[in-house]
């Protein structure tokens, strides 16, 4: 099975711009979660999508949004970029079949490195 893929791998934007990141989960997985990783904060949960619906959400401002398509591919959008948005954005897929979603094994993609200048 192919693993989780993320595009693009690297991105450079300037403050105020917006960006869209893409994630293709492992075939058959219906849950896609997004995380932000920075050296000082570690991994922080953004949101999770399951069957095209946002099932869980972390504590990030509304500038961060996402969606999931019928083929389970997911996109994450960040509007009005700020310097502090520079980070590695990771997506993870899982079957998502358990109600809570927290005991599924998650498989992470390689991440998209976003730099905001």
Partner 1 sequence: KNQVEQSPQSLIILEGKNCTLQCNYTVSPFSNLRWYKQDTGRGPVSLTIMTFSENTKSNGRYTATLDADTKQSSLHITASQLSDSASYICVVSGSGGYQKVTFGIGTKLQVIP
| Closer by beta carbon to partner 1, 17 or else 48 | 48
| Closer by beta carbon to partner 1, 47 or else 72 | 47
Q: For the CA atoms of 89, 73, 106, 104, what is the dihedral angle to 10 degrees?
A: 140
Main-chain dihedrals φ then ψ at residue 84, nearest 5 degrees: -70, -5
Task: With contacts defined by CB under 8 A, name the span among 12-20, 61-69, 70-78, 98-106 that binds partner 1.
Answer: 98-106
Shortest approach of partner 1 to residue 15 CB, angstroms? 25
The beta strand positions in 1-117, using DSSP E, are: 5-7, 10-13, 19-24, 31-38, 42-50, 53-57, 64-68, 74-78, 87-94, 107-108, 112-116
d(CA 69, CA 84): 28
Binds partner 1 (CB under 8 A): choice among 81, 111, 114, 116: 111
* Contact assessment for residue 90 and residue 37, using Cβ atoms and an 8 Å cutoff: yes
| Closer by beta carbon to partner 1, 68 or else 106 | 106
d(CA 45, CA 27): 22
Interface map 29-68 toward partner 1 (x if CB under 8 A)? ----x-------xxxxx--x------xxxx----------
| Closer by beta carbon to partner 1, 27 or else 41 | 41
**Contacting residues toward partner 1, per CB under 8 A:** 4, 33, 41-45, 48, 55-58, 90, 92, 100-103, 105-111
């Amino acid at each position: 099975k192919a693993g989780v893929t993320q595009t693009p791998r690297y991105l450079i934007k300037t403050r105020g711009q917006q960006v869209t990141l893409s994630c293709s989960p492992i075939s058959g997985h219906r849950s896609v979660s997004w995380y932000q990783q920075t050296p000082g904060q570690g991994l922080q949960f953004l949101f999770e999508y399951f069957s095209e619906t946002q099932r869980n959400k972390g504590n990030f401002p509304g500038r961060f949004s996402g969606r999931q398509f019928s083929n389970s591919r997911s996109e994450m959008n960040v509007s009005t970029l700020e310097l502090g948005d520079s980070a590695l954005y990771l997506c993870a897929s899982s079957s998502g079949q358990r109600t809570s979603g927290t005991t599924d094994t998650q498989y992470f993609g390689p991440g998209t490195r976003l730099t905001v200048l």
